[in-house]
């Protein structure tokens, strides 16, 4: 599965991604934990495939939650990155963000560049508190 591979590659690069299937502990209230993690994270990767982009249910609720949290971030901050795992249509409500075509030859490198750009934003914000 492409998401699991991406999760592993990010960990190898020194990032600390969180993925429900890997990081939830048995017995936890998964809805509460997902909400908590989305609100606490520094960046959200919305992984899209032909199946997920049109899937109804909790996937759409998770996207809505990510969009709600993104609205609270400073304008222009990199926070939400749509990641197309395969050729698929990006849902309209995600179209304002430039996405990464992970399946392209240099897709992973583009994603890493965005993540490092976000890290720089966070470092600058911590140096210049309001």
62-96 pLDDT tens trace: 889 999 999 998 888 899 999 999 999 898 889 89
* Residue with the larger pLDDT of the pair 16 and 129: 16
Residue pair 2/47 in contact by the 8 Å Cβ criterion: yes
First to last CA, the chain: 42
**Above 80 in pLDDT, residue 127?**
no
* Domains of the chain from N-terminus onward: 2-127 (3.40.50.10140)
**What's the pTM?**
0.87
Q: Select from 13, 81, 124, 43 the least CA-distant residue to 5.
A: 13
54-64 pLDDT tens trace: 667 777 888 89
**What order of strands is seen across the sheet that includes strand 100-101?**
44-48, 80-84, 100-101
């Amino acid at each position: 599965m492409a998401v699991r591979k991406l999760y592993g590659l990010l960990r190898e690069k020194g990032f600390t991604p969180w993925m429900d299937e890997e990081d939830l502990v048995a017995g936890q209230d998964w809805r509460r934990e997902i909400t908590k993690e989305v609100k606490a994270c520094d960046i959200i990767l919305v992984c899209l495939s032909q199946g997920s982009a049109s899937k109804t249910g909790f996937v759409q609720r998770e996207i809505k939650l990510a969009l709600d949290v993104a609205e609270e971030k400073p304008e222009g901050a990199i926070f939400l990155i749509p990641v197309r795992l395969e050729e698929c249509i990006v849902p309209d409500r995600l179209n304002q963000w430039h996405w990464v075509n992970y399946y392209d030859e240099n897709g992973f490198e583009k994603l890493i560049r965005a993540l490092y750009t976000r890290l720089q934003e966070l470092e600058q914000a911590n140096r210049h508190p309001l």
